[in-house]
Amino acid sequence: MSSRNMIAVILITLGVVVLAYSGITFRTPGQPVVIGPVHVETTHSHFIPPVAGAIALVGGLVLLVVGNKKV
C-alpha cells in the first residue's frame, strides 16, 4: 500500500468519524492559574465541525481514486 493510499484511508476514516458524531469536541490542558492560595487548572475546548469531516472524506476519496489511475 502506497503512502498516498494510506493517507486517503486515514482521511476517509476521520471524515466518517467526524460526520458520525456530528462534530468532535476535545479538550487540551492549559496553563495553571495561581492566585494566592487558589490553584486553578484551565482547559481549552476545540471543536471539529462536520464540514471539516465532509471535506476530509471527499479529499480522501479523491486521493484514493486519483492515486489508482495509471497514466
- Give average pLDDT by consecutive 10-residue segment, the chain, 71 residues: 87 91 80 84 82 93 81 54
Return the pLDDT at 7: 92
How far, in Å, CA of 38 to CA of 67, rounded?
Answer: 56
Which amino acid would we find at residue 54?
Answer: A
| 11/56 Cα distance (integer angstroms) | 5
pLDDT at 70 (0 to 100): 62
Predicted confidence at residue 11, as pLDDT, reads 94
H or E segment and range at residue 18: helix 3-20
Report pLDDT for 22.
Answer: 82
Please give the model's pTM, rounded to 2 decimal places. Answer: 0.69
Instruction: Find all residues with CB under 8 Å of 55, minimum gap 6, and list them.
Output: 15
